[in-house]
């Protein structure tokens, strides 16, 4: 156990959670200090992660059930940064709804811990443990605004459907275990061969469970309702952080234990990808609530991410990771704008509420304009490059159908992004919104918008970091 410091980030974050819980119980009015300490925890954890694991190429712990490699450290850092920014821009929203309690940061920390375990898992049981830890925290987070009916409904819906998918996942895991005799990915990878047809069922069950977690079509039904009902900051958390973890698990499942069975799963991934891209684009058109719209938009973005995975190449995996990183930035920027739509202690989340925003809030509208064009994938904004890398990887494998369907659905998707821009810029103005936003909110909006706008000047940096990830 010489290299226990490889899991120092996880150890540190779990100790902090326990400490914060105790602090919260014994100290009165401790919400503010819990918030700040949690932020500090995430910061320190990221520093430890960078320090201890970033240079590690590939190491396993605990009989190979826990893996530290380039992908896991990168994804952990993205998760931590995402979690940090979500937490930091949540406070004024929570205060408005009088739910500024100690549980919120602690739940976020626990779900982050769960995700970090998921990201590093190299064993079915470790993976499942991490998954359940993050899911349980997320159920509670969804219902966090418990005075609102919609929030409770969202949490319950999420709980029931998520439990179902976890069941499917477990069933798939048990089948895989039955055929391979081990829960360790590396051993499974050596033992499995494609002759056993029942094994395909195991893979399908696992993929269904994972597709549910990242809300890929046709397992997306929960996403719009849950996104709409949850408090906005929690929705932001849902749209970015768990997706990173689930994507990592997806990559690891497909490319470590099941790599030999590529013929069995490649078509499934292609189908999930195409269905998500098209459905996400088409279904978003009729939406009136921004959070629902973002739910559908994130479904279609997940479709593009899966397109990269379907290629079964390192370039494909790298392009998916680049895509999800840029997607995280774009979503963060978009939700920062959404959190700014506040007037007299009330938040607005219908598309019509954006009407004529450009007259009273020119800067905010400009940011939204850039973000939306980026989400639509129009050059020279970051969103274009995300798509460019994915389609580059897809076309390398001559998967023309996937590429053309994907690009055509960007045209459909462009329609609903344009519709929001139209409402912001072309329609009649409404009342002014408040302008006294917290510094952190402005900070996160500025930074993410600048990243989106100027990504094209230095595109190589991100590629360089990601190109060290070689799974196959």
Partner 1 sequence: MNFPILSSLILLPIVGALFLFFTKDKNGNILTAKYVALFTTIVNFLISIYLWISFDQSTSSFQFIEDRTWIEGLINYKVGIDGISILFIILTTFITPLCIISVNNSVKNRLRDFLIAILIMESFMIGVFCALDLVVFYLFFEAGLIPMFLIIGIWGGARRVYSAFKFFLYTLLGSVLMLVAIISIYWITGTTDVVKLYEIGIDVKYQNLLWLAFFSSFAVKTPMWPVHTWLPDAHVEAPTAGSVLLAAILLKMAGYGFIRFSLGLFPVASETFTPLIYVLSVIAIIFTSLIALMQEDMKKLIAYSSVAHMGFVTLGIFTLQQQGIEGSIIQMISHGLVSAALFLTVGVVYDRMHSRLISTYGGLVSVIPKYSILFMIFALASLGLPGTSGFIGEFLILMGAFKDNFLVAVVASLGVILGAAYMLWLYKRVVFGKLINEDLKKIVDLNRSEYFILSCLAAPILFYGFYPDPLINTIEVSVTDLIDMHKTNLASK
Using CB under 8 A as the binding rule, the residues of this chain from 202 to 231 that contact partner 1 are none
- Alpha-carbon gap, residue 183 to 320, rounded angstroms: 26
CB of 395 vs partner 1, minimal distance in Å: 5
- Give start and end residues of each alpha helix (H) in 144-261: 149-180, 185-191, 197-213, 222-229, 232-255
CB of 425 vs partner 1, minimal distance in Å: 6
428 interacts with partner 1 by CB under 8 A: no
Range in contact with partner 1 (rule: CB under 8 A) among 130-138, 190-198, 261-269, 392-400: 392-400
403 interacts with partner 1 by CB under 8 A: yes
Q: Give the single-character DSSP code of 148.
A: S
CB of 361 vs partner 1, minimal distance in Å: 13
Our CB check for partner 1 shows the closer of 113 and 403 to be 403
Among 19, 62, 415, 454, binds partner 1 (CB under 8 A): 415
CB of 446 vs partner 1, minimal distance in Å: 15
Question: Which residue pairs from 60-64 have beta carbons closer than 8 angstroms and sit at least 24 positions apart in sequence?
Answer: 60/122, 61/3, 61/4, 61/6, 61/7, 62/126, 63/184, 64/122, 64/123, 64/184, 64/186, 64/187
396 interacts with partner 1 by CB under 8 A: yes
CB of 278 vs partner 1, minimal distance in Å: 14
CB of 452 vs partner 1, minimal distance in Å: 13
286 interacts with partner 1 by CB under 8 A: no
414 interacts with partner 1 by CB under 8 A: yes
**Element (DSSP H or E) covering residue 66:** strand 66-69
Closest CA to 66 of 5, 8, 126: 126
Our CB check for partner 1 shows the closer of 195 and 464 to be 464
- Alpha-carbon gap, residue 70 to 65, rounded angstroms: 16
Range in contact with partner 1 (rule: CB under 8 A) among 227-235, 288-296, 339-347, 416-424: 416-424
Our CB check for partner 1 shows the closer of 80 and 376 to be 376
Among 418, 447, 450, 465, binds partner 1 (CB under 8 A): 418
373 interacts with partner 1 by CB under 8 A: yes
- Alpha-carbon gap, residue 445 to 391, rounded angstroms: 28
Among 160, 404, 434, 470, binds partner 1 (CB under 8 A): 404
Our CB check for partner 1 shows the closer of 267 and 363 to be 363
CB of 401 vs partner 1, minimal distance in Å: 11
- Alpha-carbon gap, residue 110 to 35, rounded angstroms: 14
- Alpha-carbon gap, residue 308 to 311, rounded angstroms: 6
Longest CA–CA span in the chain (Å) reads 66
Our CB check for partner 1 shows the closer of 264 and 446 to be 446
Are the beta carbons of 206 and 79 closer than 8 angstroms?
no
Closest CA to 269 of 229, 232, 217, 195: 217
422 interacts with partner 1 by CB under 8 A: yes
392 interacts with partner 1 by CB under 8 A: yes
Site track for partner 1 across 333-372, x = CB under 8 A: -----------------------------x------x---
- Alpha-carbon gap, residue 427 to 447, rounded angstroms: 28
Tokens for 180, please give them: 């391979």
410 interacts with partner 1 by CB under 8 A: yes
Range in contact with partner 1 (rule: CB under 8 A) among 181-189, 394-402, 432-440, 443-451: 394-402
- Alpha-carbon gap, residue 201 to 199, rounded angstroms: 5
Our CB check for partner 1 shows the closer of 44 and 366 to be 366
Range in contact with partner 1 (rule: CB under 8 A) among 127-135, 297-305, 384-392, 429-437: 384-392
Our CB check for partner 1 shows the closer of 244 and 414 to be 414
Tokens for 217, please give them: 């079509």
Q: Are strands 66-69 and 58-61 parallel, antiparallel or unpaired?
A: antiparallel
Close Cβ partners of 80 (under 8 Å, ≥ 6 residues apart): 42, 45, 46, 49, 112
- Count of residues in the chain: 472
Q: Which residues bind partner 1 (CB under 8 A)?
A: 362, 369, 373, 378-380, 384, 388, 391-392, 395-396, 400, 403-404, 407-408, 410-411, 414-415, 418, 421-422, 425-426, 456, 459-460, 463-464
């Amino acid at each position: 156990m010489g290299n226990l410091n490889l899991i120092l980030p996880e150890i540190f974050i779990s100790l902090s959670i326990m400490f914060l819980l105790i602090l919260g119980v014994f100290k009165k009015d401790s919400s503010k200090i819990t918030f700040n300490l949690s932020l500090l925890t995430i910061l320190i954890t990221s520093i430890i992660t960078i320090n201890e694991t970033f240079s590690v190429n590939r190491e396993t712990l605990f009989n190979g059930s826990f893996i530290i490699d380039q992908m896991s450290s990168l994804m952990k850092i993205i998760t931590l940064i995402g979690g940090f920014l979500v937490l930091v821009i949540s406070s004024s929203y929570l205060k408005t709804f009088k739910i500024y309690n100690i549980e919120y940061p602690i739940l976020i920390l626990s779900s982050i811990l769960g995700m970090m375990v998921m990201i590093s898992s190299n064993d079915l049981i470790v993976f499942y443990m991490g998954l359940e830890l993050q899911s349980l925290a997320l159920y509670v987070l969804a219902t966090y605004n418990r005075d609102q009916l919609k929030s409770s409904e969202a949490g319950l819906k999420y709980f029931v459907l998520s439990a179902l998918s976890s069941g499917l996942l477990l069933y798939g895991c048990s089948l895989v275990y039955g055929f391979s005799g081990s829960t360790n990915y590396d051993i499974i990878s050596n033992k499995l061969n494609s002759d056993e047809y029942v094994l395909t069922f195991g893979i399908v069950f696992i993929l269904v469970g994972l597709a549910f977690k990242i809300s890929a079509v046709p397992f997306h039904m929960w996403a719009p309702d849950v996104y709409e009902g949850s408090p906005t900051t929690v929705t932001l958390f849902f749209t970015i952080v768990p997706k990173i973890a689930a994507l990592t698990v997806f990559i690891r499942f497909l490319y470590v234990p099941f790599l030999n069975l590529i013929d069995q799963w490649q078509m499934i991934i292609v189908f999930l990808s195409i269905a998500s891209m098209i459905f996400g684009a088409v279904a978003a058109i009729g939406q009136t609530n921004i959070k629902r719209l973002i739910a559908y938009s994130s479904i279609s973005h997940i479709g593009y991410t899966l397109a990269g995975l379907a290629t079964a190449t390192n370039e494909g995996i790298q392009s998916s990771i680049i895509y999800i990183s840029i997607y995280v930035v774009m979503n963060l920027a978009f939700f920062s704008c959404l959190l700014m739509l506040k007037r007299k202690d009330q938040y607005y989340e219908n598309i019509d509420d954006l009407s004529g925003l450009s007259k009273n809030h020119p800067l905010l509208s400009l940011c939204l304009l850039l973000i939306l064009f980026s989400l639509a994938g129009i050059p020279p904004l970051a969103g274009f490059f995300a798509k460019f890398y994915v389609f580059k990887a897809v076309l390398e494998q001559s998967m023309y159908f996937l590429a053309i369907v994907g690009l055509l659905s960007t045209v459909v998707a462009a329609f609903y992004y344009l519709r929001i821009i139209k409402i912001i810029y072309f329609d009649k103005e409404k009342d002014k919104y408040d302008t006294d936003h917290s510094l952190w909110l402005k900070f996160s909006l500025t930074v993410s918008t600048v990243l989106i706008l100027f990504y094209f000047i230095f595109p190589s940096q991100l590629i360089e970091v990601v190109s060290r990830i070689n799974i196959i």
